[in-house]
């Protein structure tokens, strides 16, 4: 295969261009999601929750809030902060605050991820269209060309078909793999939020019961 990019796109026919556009969009979305999910929104949940638990059990809610504020870009601290701000309030109010915060961050975590599967499917279909276009050109070559030009025209049509198929799959497969990676990370972050929220409610309840018992004595 001639790996000259310009010639390869030219030989692949008109559908190579939308496939190339899809490749650029898919790479851009993947890079943005990787930066957000693995760097900005991410935090080592076990360590963070252990620090919050220590301060909450010590009755130092302000200390737990400072820990959350120090990691304000990450998703888990933003959600738990909403619950900590209502420490000492009824459990239902704490849960409502945590749920509201979760509903606010969930779309940010999952944003644009479904586009990756759409792009992968679109590239596959565009490659198939290019294949059909190339086969049509090849059949017309066999039917219309004279004997001397027939082999050249046939080879050109088959090149369009194969290049378009190859390009579509070349983009679709990595985009699907990237979708699997970022979707798994997004689900992991949301699972950490659910676990952290439930843990915080239990901790605040334990502190409230301990305080009630101390006052009763």
| 217 lies in some domain | no
The Cα–Cα gap between 86 and 99 comes to 13
Total number of domains in the chain: 1
Specify if 171 maps to a domain.
yes
Per residue in 153-211, pLDDT (tens digit) is 677 777 777 888 899 999 999 999 999 999 999 999 999 999 999 999 999 998 888 86
Domain that holds residue 68: 5-212
82 in a domain, yes or no? yes
* CB 98 within 8 Å of CB 128: no
With b meaning 16 or more CB within 10 Å and e meaning fewer, what string describes 163-202? bbbbbbbebbebbbebbeebbebbeebbebbeebbeebee
In this prediction, residue 157 carries a pLDDT of: 72
Task: Please tell me the predicted confidence (pLDDT) of residue 184.
Answer: 97
The pair of structure tokens assigned to 64 is 């737990």
Give a yes or no: residue 96 inside a domain. yes
Q: Read off the pLDDT band of 124 (50, 70, 90).
A: very high
Domain-embedded: residue 29? yes
pLDDT score at 140: 72
User: Who has greater pLDDT, 88 or 93?
Assistant: 93
CB neighbour burial string for 34-73, b if at least 16 within 10 angstroms, e if fewer: eebbeeebbbebeebbebbbebbeeeebeebbebbeebee
Per the document, the length of the chain is 217
Residue 193 lies in a domain: yes
């Amino acid at each position: 295969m001639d790996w000259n990019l310009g010639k390869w796109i030219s030989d692949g026919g008109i559908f190579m261009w939308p496939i190339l556009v899809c490749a650029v969009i898919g790479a851009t979305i993947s890079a943005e999601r990787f930066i957000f999910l693995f760097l900005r929104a991410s935090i080592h949940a076990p360590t963070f929750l252990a620090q919050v638990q220590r301060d909450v059990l010590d009755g130092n809610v302000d200390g737990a809030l400072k820990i959350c504020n120090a990691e304000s870009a990450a998703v888990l601290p933003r959600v738990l902060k909403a619950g900590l701000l209502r420490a000492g309030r009824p459990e239902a109010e704490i849960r409502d605050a945590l749920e509201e915060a979760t509903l606010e961050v969930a779309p940010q975590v999952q944003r644009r991820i479904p586009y990756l599967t759409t792009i992968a499917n679109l590239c596959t279909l565009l490659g198939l269209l290019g294949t059909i276009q190339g086969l049509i050109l090849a059949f017309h070559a066999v039917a219309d060309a004279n004997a001397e030009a027939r082999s050249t025209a046939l080879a050109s049509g088959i090149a369009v078909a194969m290049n378009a198929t190859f390009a579509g799959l070349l983009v679709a497969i990595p985009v699907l793999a990237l979708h699997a990676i970022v979707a798994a990370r997004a689900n992991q972050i949301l699972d950490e939020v659910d676990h952290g929220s439930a843990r915080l409610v239990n901790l605040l309840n334990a502190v409230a019961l301990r305080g009630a018992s101390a006052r009763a004595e």
